[in-house]
Amino acid sequence: MLLALLLATLASAREGCLTHAVRLAGPPVARAGGEDDRPTSVDSVDSTLYPIRVHWSEEADETVAIEQVLPAAELAWQVQVEQMGWPPAAPDGELGGGVDLLDYYVTNEGTAGGAYTWGPMSDVVEGDDWFSVAAFMAVDPDIGADDMPTFVAHEFNHVLQYTIDGWESTFFVWESTAEAMEEFTVPESDLYFIDIRDFNILPFASILFDGYSDEIEEYEPYSYYEYGGSIVGMYIEHAHGEWDGTTLRDLWLAMAQGDRLDEPDYLDALTEIGGGSLQDTYLGLAEYRMFVYDDDDGAHYPEGGEWSAFSRLATEGELALSTVDGTSVTPVDEPYDLGSSYWKIAVDDQDRGELSFTLDGDDAVQWGLVVSAWPASGAASVTRSWAAEGEPVAVTVGLDGATKLMVGVANLGATDLDAQGRHERRSFSLALSRTVPEVSTGDSGEPSEKPEPEEDAGGCGCSAPVTPGALGLLVAVAALARRRS
């Protein structure tokens, strides 16, 4: 039954955005440059509200273009440009036939059931400190009326990304941002839910990787890792913004540069968004990604509790509180720079005392610890700490009132970590020790009953996500049932 359900779920997965693949190889039509890069157009319609033109490649697709794509394009412009303040699409001039309109193409040419955005990689507005690329969008007519607004919102955000920094080389931020922007543009759509699994199942992977990286393909050859990274964008908006898309806009503005030198880059922008500390920003993500499905505590992702069991964060395993004192653990899958490893620790609300963690890792990088503790109800208590290169990290948490706990070890990278550099796996060991309070005795000399936990006491614990070591069958099935769009 589980296998059947998994196959049904994965087979129904949506066709993805093709922009990532298009940026690697050029669009699957003529790539000579200029207007020849664009799909066929037999006719078009212009928006009366915004500088938008929607073409169709087949006469049969006229209705889809006018009744589905055009309204979705106008909605995306209204929300992302007018309300959120993203800069409008770069002018395409002669590339667009001499008219500065954002061109959409309703076509089956290279769209494979999905959509893509493409720009010729030349700066169309020189001297403005932005590498602005004039992009167009291709949309498959078979997407469907219900999903069309979401696909268009996603691709339109790529157009705006091209406007700010068409030379940004970290693919992860392209898709993680556009996928998150689906939620802020079309909040009633939940298409992004299905991709979260591909990100959270590989927590040890770097946020500088993507589904085409060898490090990801080693585990999942058809991964939508960077799309599941939508929860990185949502974390940025929730923890550092107003949950309205403007902080993701600011993230892209912080990456802008006026030439082909990719500086400032994604890490520089994360540092700026996080108030000057990349380490604190990444540790915040290491915390947030714990709080999904039945680990949602109401204080992190607004929709985290609605995500499926497949979105659960993969861990290295579960530790028994009764045997952790004086032990140490190491990961099976060592984390890459800006990757993390996690363990669950089973507790109950009668456990007392404190649990201490001491992290000692490769001294070439900085390390961080995040310990989340869930009480019986209400928000979890979270303790985060990090140290400079070569320094151990120590955290102690109370167990009183705890129901579940999770500890995450974050590889924060070297002080001079660069987005374009090589990102290595790093080894570490995590030592645990438990302090148990003495049991008080009454006048009779007999131990008194355990006191009831205080209502406001912090808790600890975690859910039971699938571990990487148990992924063999799931990965094999996923590789058969899903295909790269």
| Ordered per-residue pLDDT tens for the chain, 485 residues | 332 333 233 334 456 798 877 767 654 443 334 445 799 999 999 999 999 999 999 999 999 999 999 999 999 999 999 999 999 999 888 777 678 999 999 999 999 999 999 988 889 988 889 999 999 999 999 999 999 999 999 999 999 999 999 999 999 999 999 999 999 999 999 999 999 999 999 999 999 999 999 999 999 999 999 999 999 999 999 999 999 999 999 999 999 999 988 999 999 999 999 999 999 999 999 999 999 999 999 999 999 999 999 999 999 999 999 999 999 999 999 999 999 999 999 998 888 899 999 999 999 999 999 999 999 999 999 999 999 999 999 999 999 999 999 999 999 999 999 999 899 999 999 999 999 987 665 555 444 443 444 443 333 333 333 344 433 333 333 333 333 34
Tokens of 390: 């070569």
pLDDT of residue 449: 42
**Is residue 475 in a domain?**
no
> 168 and 69: one domain?
yes
DSSP per residue, 330-347: --SSPPBTTEEEEEEEE-
Is 263 part of a structural domain of the chain?
Answer: yes
Helix%, strand%, coil% for the chain, nearest 5: 35, 20, 50
477: in domain: no
Q: Is residue 458 part of a domain?
A: yes
Instruction: Choose one of 241, 273, 304: the last residue of a domain.
Output: 304
3-state secondary structure of 55: strand
Task: Determine the pLDDT at residue 440.
Answer: 61
Tell me the C-alpha to C-alpha distance, in Å, between residue 119 and each of 31, 89, 92, 172, 480. 11, 11, 9, 18, 32
Asked if residue 359 and residue 278 are part of one domain, the reply reads no
pLDDT at 443: 54
The domain that holds 380 is classified in CATH as 2.60.120.380
Does the residue 378 lie in any domain?
Answer: yes
CATH number at residue 234: 1.10.390.10
What's residue 1's pLDDT? 34
The answer to whether residues 153 and 186 touch, using CB atoms and an 8 Å cutoff, is yes
Q: Do residue 272 and residue 345 come from a single domain?
A: no
Could you list the residue range(s) of the whole structural domain that residue 22 is in? 11-304
How confident is the model at residue 442, as a pLDDT? Answer: 54
Which amino acid, 389? E
What's residue 470's pLDDT?
A: 38
Residue 34 within a domain? yes
Q: What is the pLDDT of residue 439?
A: 66
- Tell me what pLDDT residue 122 has: 87
Residues 210 and 291 both lie in one domain: yes
Q: Report the alpha-carbon distance of residue 341 to residue 319 in Å, rounded.
A: 14
- Residue 229 within a domain: yes
Does 300 lie in the same domain as 325?
A: no
**DSSP H or E stretch at residue 175:** helix 171-185
Amino acid 240: pLDDT: 98
| 291 and 372 both lie in a single domain | no
pLDDT at 462: 36
Global pTM? 0.86
Our count of domains for the chain comes to 2
> Is residue 310 domain-resident?
no
Same domain? For 300 and 267 the reply is yes
User: Do 38 and 57 fall into the same domain?
Assistant: yes
Q: Are 122 and 250 in contact (CB under 8 A)?
A: no
> Interior CA angle at 373 toward 371 and 378, to 5°?
140
* Amino acid identity, position 146: D
Q: What is the pLDDT of residue 14?
A: 54
3-state secondary structure of 480: helix
Looking at the structure, tell me whether residues 236 and 353 fall in a common domain: no
Among 271, 304, 337, identify where a domain stops.
304
92 and 48 within one domain: yes
Looking at 304, 331, 363, the residue that finishes a domain is 304
**Does residue 452 share a domain with residue 323?**
yes
Residues 463 and 320 placed together within one structural domain of the fold: yes
